């Protein structure tokens, strides 16, 4: 999983935590009266948490749709099923959370309602997360392949450029410099090039010549 996909996954998890916080804050107020009977303040807090969670989730799916379209990836039939199932479960989570806010506001004893909604929402979130993960396996493989091909193309271009600039260098020496995963400054690369040229000259020189 790339860094971008990891960060996106954090967004989905964060939105889920906001939805669960809506339920928990209502339950804690029921148990501990943390809002001291201020039902308006409690309702506003719940709505703020709900809206933030919904916005994060909407942003998450917008990025996913945008990336798939940008990379011109076509989902397989199986991937589409998992993808749409995950999306539907997230939408149902949003709807259920909103229903809980409205329902719990008019109920005195919310204990039973809380546990029912908490169980269903948790189940939806976990299942949606699993479905979404399965749906993007093919996409991740596709992106990784594209990145590899692009990197290989850049390496070949770099080797060609260095060969044009330093015809005395061996191709094998250039490949060692280019294929190295270490990040180097331009100065360090120039030193390596000079060293490679020197080695190439030493290799091609006649040891019996004065």
**For 174-205, how does the pLDDT look when each residue is reduced to its tens digit (9 = 90+)?**
566 566 545 555 555 555 555 555 555 555 55
Which of 11-15, 94-98, 113-117, 172-176 comes out lowest in average pLDDT? 172-176
182 and 148, same structural domain? yes
Q: Token digits for 126?
A: 């976990």
Domain co-membership, 103 together with 157: no
Per-residue model confidence (pLDDT) at position 23: 95
For residue 88, is pLDDT > 90? yes
**Is 110 strand, coil or helix?**
coil
36 neighbors 23 (Cβ within 8 angstroms): no
Q: How many domains does the chain have?
A: 2
Q: Is residue 196 part of a domain?
A: yes
Domain-embedded: residue 170: yes
Domain that holds residue 155: 144-204
Say how far apart CA 178 and CA 159 lie, in whole Å.
7
Same domain, 7 and 67: yes
Q: Are residues 27 and 64 in the same domain?
A: yes
Which of 120, 155, 187 corresponds to the end of one domain?
120
Do 24 and 58 lie in one domain? The reply is yes
Say if 72 falls within a structural domain.
yes
In the predicted model, what is the mean pLDDT of residues 114-139?
92
Torsions phi, psi for 96 (to 5 deg): -65, -40
Are the beta carbons of 99 and 19 closer than 8 angstroms?
Answer: no
Note whether 100 and 13 are same-domain residues. Answer: yes
Other CB atoms within 10 A of residue 106 CB: 7
**pTM, full prediction:** 0.70
Q: Is residue 9 in some structural domain?
A: yes
196/154 same-domain check: yes
Tell whether 136 is covered by a domain.
Answer: no
């Amino acid at each position: 999983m790339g860094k971008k996909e990891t960060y996106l996954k954090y967004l989905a998890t964060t939105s889920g935590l906001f939805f669960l916080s809506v339920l928990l804050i209502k339950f804690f107020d029921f148990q501990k009266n943390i809002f001291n009977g201020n039902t308006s303040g409690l309702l506003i807090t719940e709505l703020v948490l709900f809206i933030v969670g919904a916005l994060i989730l909407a942003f998450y799916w917008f990025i996913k749709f945008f990336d798939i379209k940008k990379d011109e990836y076509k989902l397989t039939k199986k991937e589409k099923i998992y993808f749409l199932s995950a999306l539907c479960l997230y939408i149902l989570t949003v709807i259920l959370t909103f229903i809980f806010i409205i329902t719990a506001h008019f109920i005195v004893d919310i204990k039973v309602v809380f546990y029912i909604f908490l169980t269903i929402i948790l189940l939806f979130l976990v299942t949606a997360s699993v479905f979404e993960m399965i749906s993007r396996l093919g996409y991740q493989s596709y992106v990784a392949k594209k990145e590899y091909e692009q990197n290989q193309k850049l390496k070949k271009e770099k080797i060609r450029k260095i060969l044009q600039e330093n015809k005395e260098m061996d191709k094998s020496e250039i490949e060692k410099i280019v294929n190295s995963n270490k990040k180097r400054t331009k100065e360090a690369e120039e030193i390596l090039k000079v060293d490679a040229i020197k080695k190439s000259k030493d290799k091609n020189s006649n040891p019996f010549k004065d």
